[in-house]
Amino acid sequence: MCSKITYRTGTGTFITGRGMDWNDLAANTELWVFPAGMQRDGGVGSSPVGWTSRFGSVVASFYGSASSDGMNTAGLVANILYLAESEYGEPSAGGRETISVGAWAQYYLDNFATVAEAVQATRDDPFSIVGPVLPNGRVALVHLSLSDSSGDCAVIEYLDGHPVIHHGPEYRVMTNSPVYDQQLALNAYWDLIGGHKMLPGTLSAADRFVRLSYNLKSSPEYEDRTMAVASVFSQMRAIGMPLGMEDPDHPPNVSTLWRAIADHDARRYYFESTVKPSVMWVDLDEVDLASGAQAMAVDVSRDGLAGEVSAEFRPREPFTFLA
C-alpha cells in the first residue's frame, strides 16, 4: 500500500507526490481545509495531547476520521503510509500523553513549519500513538513521511514503542514494508546493479521502492512548473496498482485509489481519484485559513470536479479522529 517521492525541480523547488493504495472503496476520502487557531486534541485515552493549530492546512481524509495526507500554509507536507511492522507500544507508557494515529499527520501540519522543527519535537518522544482497528478490519499500522519547501525530508517509524527517525534531504522515497533501514539496504544493492540494466518488477513494496528511486533520480529536473508537476504525476501513475487488483498473499499490495501531489513552493495541492478520473487542485491562497475561519470540505467523489476547486468547499464540522 502506498508510495511517495519528493522531486527536485530545475529551479530548486520541490514537489511531493504520493499514491494511496487500499482495498476498500468505502474509505470515504474528502478534501478538507482547516484554519489556524483550531483547538485540537489527540482524540484517544484519558490524557490526550492537546494543541492549538499554528498553521492552516489542506488534507485528504480517510474513513471520515483521519488526516492521511496534506500540506500546511508553511509548505510542510505529511504523508501517512502503511507499515505492518509498526509497534506503537502500550498507550500512555511512561505517563506520556496519547494521540490517535488518525491525528498524527494533522499534529505535524498544525504545529510545524519545517521538517527540522518537527523532527526535533519528535526526538523528545512526546506521546504514545494509538492505532485502532479500521472499518475494513485491519489495525491502523502506519509510518509517516515529512517534507518541506527546502527539500528536507524525514521518515518516522514507531518500532518497539518509540520513534525511529531518518532525517535528511536524501530520504526522498518511501513505500511500505520492510522497515526503512532494510529498504535502504535493498535499494543500495540494486543501485550497484544499475537500473538501466534491470529493475525488480513485482508488486512488493521493496520492489516499488527500487523502481521509484531509479525513476526519481533518472527524471529530468524540469524548470517549467507545469512540466515538473506532470513529471511527478507520471512517476506516481507508473508505480500505481490498477483498480480491482489485489495480491491475496500480501494484503498491502492492493489497488491505487487516489494520488496527491503537493507543490511546496506554490502552496498548491493536487488530487486525482482513480475512480473519478480528473485532476483537481487547491491553491492555499484561495481559501481562508486565518484563525477564526471555518473548517470546510468537498466530496471528491462528486462528478465534474476538475481544476482549481477552492470555490467548491462548504463549511463543515471537523471530523473526529479515529478512536
pLDDT at site 94: 67
pLDDT at site 305: 95
Question: pLDDT tens across 149-161, in order?
Answer: 999 999 999 999 9
Phi then psi for 296, rounded to 5 degrees? -140, 160
pLDDT at site 249: 63
Query: Which of 16-20, 103-107, 126-130 is predicted with the least confidence, judged by mean pLDDT?
Result: 126-130
Closest CA to 13 of 263, 281, 282, 232: 263
Mean pLDDT taken over the chain:
93
As given in the structure block, the three cell numbers for residue 17 are 507526490
Please say if the pLDDT value at position 252 is more than 80: no
Please say if the pLDDT value at position 175 is more than 90: yes
pLDDT at site 135: 83
Mean pLDDT of 259-267: 98
Binning pLDDT at 50, 70 and 90, where does residue 1 land? low
As given in the structure block, the three cell numbers for residue 301 are 467523489
pLDDT at site 191: 87
User: Which CATH superfamily includes the segment(s) 3-315?
Assistant: Penicillin V Acylase; Chain A (3.60.60.10)
Q: Is 221 helix (H, G, I), strand (E, B) or coil?
A: coil
Please say if the pLDDT value at position 170 is more than 80: yes
Binning pLDDT at 50, 70 and 90, where does residue 130 land? very high
Mean pLDDT of 2-15: 97
- 3-class SS letters over 111-162: HCCCHHHHHHHHHCCCEEEECCECCCCCECCEEEEEECCCCCEEEEEEECCE
pLDDT at site 70: 98
pLDDT at site 244: 80
Mean pLDDT of 310-317: 97
Q: How far apart are CA 130 and CA 89, in angstroms?
A: 8
pLDDT at site 28: 86
Using an 8 Å Cβ cutoff, are 121 and 137 in contact?
Answer: no
Question: pLDDT tens across 181-209, in order?
Answer: 999 999 999 988 876 778 999 888 999 99
Please say if the pLDDT value at position 233 is more than 90: yes
Phi then psi for 203, rounded to 5 degrees? -80, -5
pLDDT at site 193: 85
Question: pLDDT tens across 270-281, in order?
Answer: 999 999 889 999
Please say if the pLDDT value at position 251 is more than 60: no
- The packing angle between helices 101-111 and 115-123, to 10°, is 130
pLDDT at site 214: 96
Q: Tell me which amino acid residue 141 is.
A: L
pLDDT at site 224: 98
pLDDT at site 136: 79
Q: How far apart are CA 96 and CA 270, in angstroms?
A: 36
Does pTM top 0.85 for this prediction?
yes
pLDDT at site 91: 79
- What percent of the chain is modeled with pLDDT above 90? 79
Q: How far apart are CA 283 and CA 263, in angstroms?
A: 10
pLDDT at site 92: 67
Using an 8 Å Cβ cutoff, are 78 and 108 in contact?
Answer: yes
Question: pLDDT tens across 42-100, in order?
Answer: 988 788 999 999 999 999 999 999 999 999 999 999 999 999 999 998 876 667 899 99
Tally of CB atoms within 10 A around 27: 19
pLDDT at site 167: 98
